[in-house]
């Protein structure tokens, strides 16, 4: 695991962009496949990638994107659906074509239908083979919408949201009551299939979750700790999100070594 601690938001976006582009470039055959996250955290990364597109250094015209999660009960055209959010914050920003954006479908006539749609999405994901999965982290240690207690081997499925997650996300809705109670999320086992994981966390509200995920025990109690099992993980933090890490000195030494190609 590489832990890169940036001095500010711009540097964090640069570190994350480098990690994403190197991961995509290492694909041997076929078009690149990018796993994408919503939330406020990856917006700086998307903006940095957009600048590289504008400078002719990157091109996402042939990239497929697969979302981590979606709310149950919102159609893909709903303005707070993650599909719409990604069309606005990813497709329109870095140039992934809308027809190449894949999102779980949390809308249907019955629970059985949504369960079947989730299983189909998981199969599609496996078939595509995600090169790089971008991850944020919830204040309770969730990734995607895998709330504490999620099986470390879970697949894409319906997941009940915790009260904390609904409260955290209420800022995007007209009050807490409007926040859906359930999601369809890639499972932790699904996320681990990606060839590289790039987890980004910024702000002091993430410091506890980050320390538990990186330096705590591998445990369903902190779903993000599952990244400890993955052989190619880059974690990009700002100072505030890194503030509870015990091994900070080591991460800095290792990152300095990286810069010199050691
Ligand atoms: C939501 C998403 C997660 C995201 C998390 C953190 O719950 N399902 O994928 O990582 O929010 O969001 P933010 O980056 O806005 O703090």
Q: What is the CA(107)–ligand 1 centre distance, in A?
A: 20
Torsion, Cα 4 25 224 181, to 10 degrees, reads 130
Q: Which atom of ligand 1 is nearest to the CA of 135?
A: 10
Q: Is the confidence at residue 223, as pLDDT, over 70?
A: yes
Per DSSP, 143 falls in state: B
Q: With bands split at pLDDT 50, 70 and 90, how would you rate the model's confidence at 259?
A: low
Q: How many helices (H) and strands (E) does the chain have?
A: 9, 10
Ligand 1 neighbours (beta carbon < 6 A):
37-41, 68-69, 136-138, 144-145, 165, 169
Phi and psi of 204, rounded to 5°? -65, -25
Q: Give pLDDT, residue 262.
A: 47
pLDDT tier for residue 260 given thresholds of 50, 70 and 90: low
Please say whether the beta carbons of 244 and 206 come within 8 A. Answer: no
**How close is the Cα of 184 to the center of ligand 1, in Å?**
14
| Residue identifier of the C-alpha nearest atom 12 of ligand 1 | 39
Q: Indicate which residue's Cα is closest to atom 13 of ligand 1.
A: 39
Rg (C-alpha) for the chain, rounded Å, is 17
Both tokens assigned to 189: 């086992």
Whether the predicted pLDDT of 64 surpasses 80? yes
Calpha distance 243→245 (Å, rounded): 6
Whether the predicted model's global pTM rises above the 0.85 cut: yes
Tokens at residue 47, please? 């903006």
Q: How far is the CA of 139 from the centre of ligand 1 (A)?
A: 9
99 among known catalytic residues: no
Cα(257) to ligand 1 centroid in Å equals 31
- Catalytic, 69? Answer yes
Average pLDDT, the chain: 96
User: What secondary structure letter does DSSP report for 1?
Assistant: -
State CA 223 to chain mean position distance.
13
Rounded Cα gap, residues 12 and 22, in angstroms: 16
**Does the active-site annotation cover 92?**
no
Ligand 1: residue of 9, 138, 166 to mutate (most ligand atoms within 8 A of CB) is 138
- Ligand 1, from 41, 71, 136, 207: best to mutate by most atoms within 8 Å of Cβ? 136
Residue whose C-alpha is closest to residue 108's, from 147, 70, 68: 70
* 64 close to 97: Cβ distance less than 8 angstroms: no
Which of 237, 172, 244 lies closest to 208, judged by CA?
244
Residue pair 147/162 in contact (Cβ under 8 Å)? The answer is yes
Cβ neighbours of residue 103 under 8 Å, at least 6 residues apart?
66, 67, 70, 76, 81, 82, 83, 86
pLDDT at 258 over 70: no
Ligand 1 centre and the CA of 261: distance in Å?
33
């Amino acid at each position: 695991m590489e832990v890169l601690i940036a001095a500010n938001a711009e540097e964090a976006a640069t570190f994350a962009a480098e990690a994403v582009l190197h991961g995509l470039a290492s694909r041997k055959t076929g078009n690149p496949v990018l796993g994408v996250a919503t939330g406020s955290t990856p917006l700086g990364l998307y903006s940095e990638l957009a600048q590289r597109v504008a400078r002719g250094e990157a091109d996402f015209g042939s990239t497929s994107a697969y979302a981590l999660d979606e709310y149950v009960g919102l159609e893909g055209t709903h303005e707070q659906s993650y599909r719409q959010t990604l069309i606005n914050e990813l497709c329109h920003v870095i140039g992934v074509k809308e027809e190449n954006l894949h999102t779980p479908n949390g809308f249907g006539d019955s629970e059985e239908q949504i369960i079947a749609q989730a299983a189909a999405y998981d199969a599609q994901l496996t078939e595509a083979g995600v090169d790089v999965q971008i991850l944020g982290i919830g204040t309770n240690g969730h990734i995607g919408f895998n709330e504490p207690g999620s099986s470390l081997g879970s697949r894409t499925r319906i997941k009940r949201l915790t009260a904390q997650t609904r409260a955290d996300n209420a800022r995007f809705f007209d009050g807490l009551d409007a926040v859906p109670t359930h999601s369809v999320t890639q499972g932790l086992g699904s996320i681990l299939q990606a060839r590289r994981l790039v987890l980004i966390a910024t702000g002091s509200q993430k410091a506890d979750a980050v320390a538990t995920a990186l330096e705590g025990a591998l445990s369903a109690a902190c779903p993000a700790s599952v990244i400890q099992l993955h052989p190619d993980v880059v974690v990009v933090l700002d100072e505030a999100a890194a503030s509870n890490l015990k091994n900070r000195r080591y991460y800095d030494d290792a990152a300095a070594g990286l810069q010199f190609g050691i």
